[in-house]
């Protein structure tokens, strides 16, 4: 696995937790294990690792749940965004690619733990593409845009977390 010096940032949906990394590994992948499926609430977790010594939390701290004796998973306790998978003994933190400000920078290179891959995974590139949200419900898209509580895909000097219950 090759270490690449580069700057990346990311965080949760509500903006409570933000991170920076000054290096990344070239290990972007889709993990199909049942733990990643459950942790991401999806059929796979798209992951790419940052060396632990290159990763810092710049706003807030993630909540952590130890999913096994060797693995902890981080998430935002406020909005629930899954943020990472961290093996406690290998010196790297696999960030959820979707939590990065620029997820396009890390196209997956491999599928892992494929014994748990859903049987229809290979068909998803052939399903209908209905286009942009704005083309499929302009009124709905405008209402979401008007009331959007999501943190932007960039660092902000300050941020008021919106949409908090209680």
Distance, CA of 93 to CA of 24 (rounded, Å): 10
Q: How confident is the model at residue 138 (pLDDT cuts 50, 70, 90)?
A: confident
Structure tokens that stand for 14 in this block = 């509500």
Question: Which domains are present in the chain?
Answer: 3-119+137-147 (2.170.150.70)
Q: What is the mean pLDDT of residues 4-22?
A: 97
Q: Residue 123: what pLDDT? A: 94
Q: Full-prediction pTM beyond 0.85?
A: yes
Beta bridge partners of 95: 48, 84
Q: What is the mean pLDDT of residues 53-70?
A: 96
What are the Cα distances from residue 55, in Å, to 9, 20, 42, 95, 98?
Answer: 9, 6, 25, 10, 17
Closest by CA to 8, choosing from 109, 100, 108, is: 100
Give percent of the chain above pLDDT 70.
98
Q: How confident is the model at residue 165 (pLDDT cuts 50, 70, 90)?
A: low
CA 112 to chain centre: 17
Average pLDDT, the chain: 92
What are the Cα distances from residue 133, in Å, to 38, 80, 137, 147, 158?
Answer: 27, 23, 6, 15, 29
């Amino acid at each position: 696995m090759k270490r690449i010096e580069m700057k990346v940032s990311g965080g949760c949906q509500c903006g409570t937790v933000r991170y920076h990394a000054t290096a990344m590994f070239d290990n972007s992948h889709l993990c199909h294990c049942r733990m990643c499926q459950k942790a991401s609430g999806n059929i796979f977790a798209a992951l790419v690792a940052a060396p632990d010594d290159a990763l810092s939390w710049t706003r807030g701290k993630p909540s952590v749940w130890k999913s096994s004796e060797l693995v902890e998973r981080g998430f935002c306790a406020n909005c629930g965004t899954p943020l990472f998978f961290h093996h406690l003994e290998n010196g790297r933190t696999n960030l959820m690619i979707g939590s990065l400000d620029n997820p396009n920078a890390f196209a997956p290179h491999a599928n892992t733990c494929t014994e748990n891959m859903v049987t229809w995974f290979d068909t998803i590139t052939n399903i209908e593409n209905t286009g942009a949200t704005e083309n499929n419900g302009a009124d709905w898209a405008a209402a979401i845009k008007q009331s959007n509580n999501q943190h932007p895909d960039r660092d902000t000097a300050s941020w008021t977390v919106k949409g908090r219950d209680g």
